[in-house]
Structure 1
Amino acid sequence: MRRSFYQYLMTLRNPSSTEPIAEFANNAFYDQSFPKQETDYHRLSQYLELNAGYLPTMTIFDEVYRDYHEKEQL
C-alpha cells in the first residue's frame, strides 16, 4: 500500500533540527488542515502555495516530493 505524501513527510520530522526539510515536516505536523491523504503533486502544491506560510520556498516541497515520488514509485 502506497503512503500519502504526508505520511512520507512525517518520516522526515526532527524537532531539534533546523534543516529546511525537517522544519517543513515539523510545521506540516502542526498544520491541522494539511491534506493528509493526498498524493497528487498539483493538489499539494496548490494547498502549500495558498496556506503554508511556514514554507519559505516551494523548492523545499519540490525536493521532498521528488524523493517521495522516487521512493513510492507513483
Structure 2
Amino acid sequence: MNHSFYHFVLKYRGGPKGDMKAVFAESMFKDHGFPKYEESFDPLSKYIEEIADPQMPASVFDDLWKEYDDLRSLG
C-alpha cells in the first residue's frame, strides 16, 4: 500500500453520524492544513495534538493509525 494516512482515512467519510471515525474523516477532509501526504506517525501525531480540530481526537487517531499501520505491514 502506497497511500498516505489521509488517503486511508478518507474511506470513512460519509459514515454514520455517530461513528467517530467518520466524524474524524470529515473533519480531516475539511482541514486544509492537514498533512495530506504524510505517512509517518510522529508528524501526524504532533499535528493532531497541537493543531487539529477537536473533532479529531487523539484516541480516534490512534485507532485509525493502528489500522493504517497494520495494513501497511501486510503490504
TM-score (norm 1): 0.88
Paired with 1:32 and 1:13, the residues of 2 have a C-alpha distance of: 16
**Structure 1: gaps (5+ residues):** none
Identity of aligned residues (%): 30
- In structure 1, the partner of 2:72 is 72
- In structure 2, the partner of 1:40 is 40
Corresponding residue SS for 1:35: coil
Number of aligned residue pairs: give it: 74
Q: CA deviation at 1:16?
A: 4.9
Q: CA deviation at 1:56?
A: 5.6
Corresponding residue SS for 2:12: coil
State whether structure 2 residue 63 is matched by structure 1 residue 63: yes
**Structure 2: gaps (5+ residues):** none
Paired with 2:41 and 2:69, the residues of 1 have a C-alpha distance of: 9
- Moved segments of 4+, more than 4 Å: none
TM-score (norm 2): 0.87
